[in-house]
Amino acid sequence: MNAVAARHDVVLVVAQPDRPAGRGLKLQKPPVAARAIELGLPLVQPLKIRTDEFLHEVEQARPDAGVVIAYGRILPGRLLQIPKHGFLNVHASLLPKYRGAAPIQRAIEAGETVTGATIMRVDEELDHGPMLSVATIEIAPGERLPSVSRRLADAGAEALVRTLDALERGTAVETPQDHARATHAAKIEKDEGRITFGEPARVIFDRFRAFDPWPGVFFETNGEAIRVTEMALASSRRSHAPRTVVSIDQAVVVSTGEGQLRLEQLQRPGKPRAAAGDVARGLGWSAGAAIP
């Protein structure tokens, strides 16, 4: 929003309604709404976006273009037709790959080394419209979701401003997506963070990077779900059965279906995070034996 407001007149900001959040479940404004208030921009937070009242409010604002970023709702056709240049979406993937709710997480989970932000025209299908601009970034080998998300936000903002400038000049070019190459980035479910150590170490590590901070990754032992809050790939090439504790010091090296993981920090239910070695000794683990 900052980048757009610095170069263009924002005539209306539409955000989700305030929701209960935190331990006290107090109503909190979504970040977009809070920032709109800080910038002194007109703001509405409709419960529904298909009502005549809301659509009339958008019409009255007379927008040249609409921008939607992770709004979480399908926009109705009548709304899409209001702005002169339609609606643009800043989607956090290199379309047509990773259409859907979790493009950044799914790209990291898949071990992608390159991703990006695509500025596309919104139609009535999911992430389906033609593309107007693409910004590409590299994903570092150990990079996690928060860092990738921040860099994509910056890249997407720059690409969006360029696209709006081009629309204003009448020089914007649209490129249809190759729908045959489309992939779907499904919403993340909490149970996807469960690991068994039967998969390759690289697969587990990529899932850990993708699911940081939520839902995180965890494994079960003796009825406890142990959350892994820090891990790395281990360099040892010794062969052991999956789930074998290879060594314990401050960290714990565990064998997987292919390769080994260095568990550096663990968290037991209801306990603070702690060095993995201390947690392992507290659980009675020993080098050479399998995690119970």
**Chunked mean pLDDT (size 10), the chain, 292 residues:** 91 95 87 95 96 97 95 91 97 97 98 98 94 98 97 97 96 97 97 97 98 97 97 86 97 96 98 98 96 96
In a domain, 287, yes or no: no
**Cβ atoms within 10 Å of 227's Cβ, excluding its own:** 18
- Sequence-ordered list of residues with C-beta below 8 angstroms from that of 288, at least 6 positions apart, any chain: 244, 245, 246
Contact 244, 254 (CB under 8 A): yes
| Domain match, 171 and 194 both | no
- Domain match, 127 and 88 both: yes
Task: From residue 238, give the alpha-carbon distance in Å to each of 215, 250, 291.
Answer: 31, 20, 17
Model-level pTM? Answer: 0.94
Tell which of 185, 219, 237 closes a domain: 185
Q: What pLDDT sits at residue 21?
A: 83
Q: Answer yes or no: do 233 and 113 share one domain.
A: no
- Whether the ω angle into residue 146 lies within 30 degrees of 0, i.e. cis, is no
Contact 104, 93 (CB under 8 A): yes
253/163 same-domain check: no
Please check whether residues 29 and 124 belong to one and the same domain.
yes
At 125-181, the pLDDT tens digits run 989 999 999 999 999 999 999 999 999 999 999 999 999 999 999 999 999 999 999
Same domain, 268 and 158: no
**Nearest-CA neighbor of 44 among 54, 35, 52?**
54
Residues 44 and 158 in one domain: yes
7 and 51 assigned to the same domain: yes
* Domain co-membership, 48 together with 161: yes
Q: Which domain holds residue 20?
A: 2-185
Residue 214 sits in the same domain as residue 86: no
How many C-beta atoms lie closer than 10 Å to residue 210's C-beta?
A: 24
212 and 91 part of one domain: no
Distance CA 27, CA 20 (A): 4
Instruction: Classify strands 260-267 and 252-255 as parallel, antiparallel or unpaired.
Output: antiparallel
